[in-house]
Each structure stands twice: as structure tokens, then as C-alpha cells.
């Protein structure tokens, strides 16, 4: 029966090719949606890890270092540095701003104490050594020696850092603490958080201690609705793919009713008919899934931020696609089973 199924696909190859192309595009978009969701989670993990903290201290009652609007005195870092369990403590300024490059671009800004915590690993160049210097995200396309204007301040690019974006790929600038305070607080000695090497073992007055996991949760919280929307779109795409596969298999079953009747009249079992149609659905789904991997890789660079499709997503897509194909072909399978052998000897 599998040979009959393959011959039928060969006979209807034009329809099969069109169905594969349409389904592969849908599966490709599903992979991209998975890449979007993965990127959002990876951004938070990377930026928190890049800052090198063991703990974060923010104003008491603040939701976290990335979304708080309550600054704290930067001098509190010296008090925190003397707490049990703390090896080092440094203030950190986090804000959102824009630069001209030459068009206006949104950027995240992090201001850290020179030589302290909050300096990311570099792809090239050196760390910020004085005011007026900046380490820029490679996503901005800047080069060493370029100058950037941030809120009227001229900064020279002395280093480049890779993969330090957050909030849907928004690139980051790393400044001296004084420059960031000038931009955010008009030069007042304030900070949004205090980073520590080592975890405080006692409570700090008017401050709340957060772990790296809590800092990531604070960063990802504003993205929850976006992530849910991505997951919802992915579910809709799976339904579209199931509809395409199901319609193709059902049409094939309708056109082959006389053939099924002849096969049943000559002794073919319902199981063999089901295997033949199911094989067509699996071949269509698997071929589309394999082609979708290439489509996703081709389209990913066209999006405005990094799309990180996890390696396991590709084999998982093939398996899930075949299961979806089998489920979608249920109507066609039921139609094939219900055909009467007498149809082989009747009129049209």
C-alpha cells in the first residue's frame, strides 16, 4: 500500500509541491517565533551575567534594578562593601536614552565605577578608563575611535562589547559612572542599584537584596505580554499548517474514493488504507519541516534583532510536524475507511 501512496503523490506532484512550499513557510515562521522567544530570555541572561554581580541591592520596595524609578545614594555602596559576606560593592546607573547615528536610535545606558563591577567582557578595544569614554554594543555598528553624542555629551568609543542587548535587541552603551549620573540625575551622586561581589549576609537599611535570578525576572517582566503574543502566534501557525495538510489529505481521499472501493473489494484492509494516507501526511509534513529549517535560516538575518533558534528546535519541529500531519489527516482517514466496496461496481 505504501507504493500506491507514493505513486499517488507522484501523480499529484504539482499539488504536493505547492502544499509543501506553503507548509514549509508556515513551519519556518514557527521556527522564527521560537527564535524570538529564545532571544528575549537569552538577552536577560547574558546582560545580567555580563555585569559580573553576585547580588543586586535596590531601594526597599523597588521591583528590581532594570525597572525601578527610585534612585539610591551612590555612596551607599561604601557602606554595603563593609557588610558581612561582601567582597566588593559598586554603584550602577541604568537608564534608557537615544543617540544620533545619524538617525535617532534607542539605547540602553549603563554607568559603572571605573575598574569596578558592571564592566562587560569586550570583543575588542579596552574598558572605559576616564569620563568621556564609552564601550559600545557591536549592534550599533560603531568602530573604535568613533564619537557618539549622548544627551549633549560627546563620548569616544574605546571598546566594543558583543551580545549585550536587552528589550528586543536594544543596544547598550557602557559609560563612566559620572557621565551616566550627569545624563540621568544632572550630576547628582545617585544610582539605580548597587552590585556586589559576594552576597550580603545581613539586611541593609532601606535596601533590598536581589539575586541574579530576581534581576533577570525584573528585566523580563515588561516582556511577558510580548512573549505571550509570540506563543499565541506560534499556536495559530501550527493550526494553519494543520489546515493545509488536512485539506490536502482530505482532497486526496475524496478523489480516490473509487480507488479505495476497488482496493477494499479486492481484499485490502482499512488499516492498509489508513497507512497509505497517513504516509502521505507524514511525507508532506516531514518534507515541509526540513525545508522550513532552510527558510528560517534565510529569513533570520532580515529581522531587526537577533533571532536565536535553539539547535533542538529543528529535530523537534520534524517530529511535531509529523504528529500534526497525522492529526490533521484524521478527516481524510475517516473518509477512506467509510467508503463501501460496492462503489467499485457502481456508477460515478
Query: Residues 224-250: pLDDT tens digits?
Result: 888 888 889 988 888 888 888 777 777
Residues 243 and 180 in one domain: no
Residues 273 and 340 in one domain: yes
Residues 101 and 182 in one domain: yes
Residue 95's closest CA among 167, 196, 168?
A: 167
Query: Across residues 188-213, what is the average pLDDT?
Result: 94
Strands 207-210 and 147-150, sheet pairing: unpaired
Answer whether residue 204 is part of any domain: no
Tell me whether residue 228 is exposed, middle or buried, using C-beta atoms within 10 angstroms of its C-beta: 0 to 12, 13 to 18, 19 or more: exposed
Q: Which domain holds residue 127?
A: 55-198
Answer whether residue 283 is part of any domain: yes
Q: What is the pLDDT of residue 82?
A: 93
Residues 34 and 59 in one domain: no
Q: Where are the beta strands (DSSP E) in 113-240?
A: 124-125, 133-137, 147-150, 153-161, 172-176, 190-191, 193-197, 207-210
How many Å apart are CA 86 and CA 73, to the nearest integer?
18
Residues 124 and 189 in one domain: yes
113-164 confidence digits (pLDDT tens): 999 999 999 999 999 999 999 999 999 999 999 999 998 899 999 999 999 9
Answer whether residue 49 is part of any domain: no
End-to-end CA distance of the chain: 24
Number of structural domains (the chain) is: 2
And the C-alpha cell for 29?
A: 515562521
Residues 86 and 189 in one domain: yes
**Residue 334: pLDDT over 80:** no
- The 3-state DSSP class for residue 293 equals helix
Answer whether residue 212 is part of any domain: no
56-109 confidence digits (pLDDT tens): 999 999 999 999 889 999 999 999 999 999 999 999 999 999 998 778 899 999
Residues 245 and 293 in one domain: yes
Q: What is the pLDDT of residue 165?
A: 92
Query: Across residues 305-313, what is the average pLDDT?
Result: 86
Q: Who contacts 290 (Cβ-Cβ below 8 Å, separation ≥6)?
A: 318
Answer whether residue 10 is part of any domain: yes
Tell me whether residue 202 is exposed, middle or buried, using C-beta atoms within 10 angstroms of its C-beta: 0 to 12, 13 to 18, 19 or more: exposed
Residues 186 and 234 in one domain: no
Q: How many residues does the chain have?
A: 348
How many Å apart are CA 32 and CA 170, to the nearest integer?
19
Answer whether residue 66 is part of any domain: yes
Residues 255 and 278 in one domain: yes
Amino acid at each position: 500500500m505504501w507504493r500506491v501512496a507514493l505513486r499517488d503523490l507522484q501523480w499529484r506532484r504539482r499539488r504536493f509541491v505547492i502544499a509543501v512550499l506553503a507548509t514549509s513557510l508556515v513551519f519556518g515562521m514557527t521556527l522564527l517565533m521560537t527564535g524570538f522567544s529564545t532571544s528575549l530570555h537569552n538577552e536577560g541572561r547574558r546582560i545580567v551575567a555580563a555585569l559580573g554581580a553576585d547580588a543586586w541591592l535596590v531601594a526597599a520596595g523597588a521591583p528590581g534594578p532594570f525597572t525601578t524609578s527610585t534612585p539610591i545614594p551612590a555612596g551607599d555602596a561604601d557602606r554595603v562593601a563593609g557588610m558581612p559576606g561582601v567582597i566588593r560593592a559598586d554603584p550602577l546607573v541604568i537608564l534608557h536614552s537615544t543617540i544620533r547615528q545619524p538617525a535617532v536610535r534607542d539605547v540602553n545606558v549603563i554607568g559603572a565605577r571605573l575598574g569596578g563591577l558592571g564592566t562587560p567582557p569586550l570583543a575588542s578595544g579596552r574598558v572605559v578608563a576616564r569620563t568621556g569614554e564609552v564601550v559600545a554594543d557591536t549592534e550599533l555598528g560603531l568602530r573604535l575611535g568613533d564619537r557618539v553624542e549622548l544627551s549633549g555629551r560627546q563620548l569616544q568609543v574605546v571598546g566594543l562589547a558583543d551580545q549585550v542587548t536587552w528589550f528586543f535587541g536594544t543596544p547598550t552603551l557602557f559609560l563612566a559612572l559620572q557621565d551616566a549620573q550627569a545624563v540621568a540625575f544632572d550630576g547628582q551622586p545617585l544610582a539605580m542599584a548597587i552590585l556586589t561581589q559576594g552576597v550580603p549576609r545581613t539586611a541593609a537599611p532601606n535596601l533590598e537584596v536581589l539575586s541574579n535570578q530576581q534581576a533577570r525576572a525584573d528585566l523580563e517582566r515588561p516582556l511577558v505580554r510580548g512573549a505571550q503574543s509570540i506563543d499565541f502566534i506560534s499556536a495559530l501557525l501550527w493550526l494553519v499548517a494543520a489546515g493545509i495538510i488536512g485539506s490536502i489529505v482530505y482532497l486526496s481521499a475524496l478523489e480516490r474514493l473509487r480507488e479505495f472501493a476497488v482496493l477494499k473489494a479486492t481484499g485490502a484492509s482499512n488499516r492498509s488504507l489508513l497507512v497509505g494516507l497517513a504516509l502521505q501526511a507524514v511525507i508532506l509534513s516531514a518534507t515541509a519541516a526540513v525545508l522550513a529549517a532552510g527558510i528560517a535560516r534565510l529569513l533570520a538575518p532580515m529581522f531587526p534583532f537577533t533571532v536565536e533558534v535553539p539547535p533542538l528546535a529543528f529535530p523537534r519541529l520534524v517530529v511535531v510536524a509529523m504528529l500534526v500531519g497525522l492529526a490533521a489527516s484524521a478527516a481524510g482517514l475517516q473518509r477512506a475507511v467509510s467508503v463501501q466496496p460496492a462503489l467499485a461496481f457502481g456508477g460515478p
